[in-house]
Amino acid sequence: MNDADIYSVIGEEGFARLVAAFYRRVPEDDLLGVMYPQSDLENAERRLRDFLIYRFGGPARYIEQRGHPRLRARHFPFRIDQAARDRWMHLMNNAFAEAALPIEAERPLREFLEHMSTFMINQ
């Protein structure tokens, strides 16, 4: 499946389910919990959701609100080493398990996030 077709398969609802399942796990996490803005988690959840929706064929709300993603630069304030990257992916893998998206959509999404999370390592 092409990346741009994923939105038409899982829709807003599929992305919302995945990202909500991820952010539900963040506050409890000893490594990642402290990195995320606890008072602004809802907006953080929306930023990741809108970014993925834009990247995988949906409306470009992320770009309208945040401009060019510059994701590596936006992550510089956070200390992301291999352990933090692996934990992020671990929470995301649990979120995938919970969201139970169609496998033909899950596979490219997971591959993209595995690649991008490694790219985000800055320590």
What mask of x and - would describe binding to ligand HEM in positions 61 to 90, judged by CB under 6 A?
-----x----x--xx--x-x---xx--x--
Size of the site for ligand HEM (CB under 6 A): 22
What mask of x and - would describe binding to ligand HEM in positions 2 to 31, judged by CB under 6 A?
------------------------------
**What is the b/e burial string over 85-98, where b = at least 16 CB atoms within 10 angstroms of the residue's CB?**
bebbbebbeebbee
Instruction: Quote the least distance from Cβ 74 to ligand HEM, whole Å.
Output: 5
14 C-beta neighbours (distance < 10 Å), count: 22
Q: Which two tokens stand for residue 117?
A: 């999370």
Q: What is the DSSP letter of 113?
A: H
Nearer to ligand HEM (CB atom), residue 80 or residue 99: 80
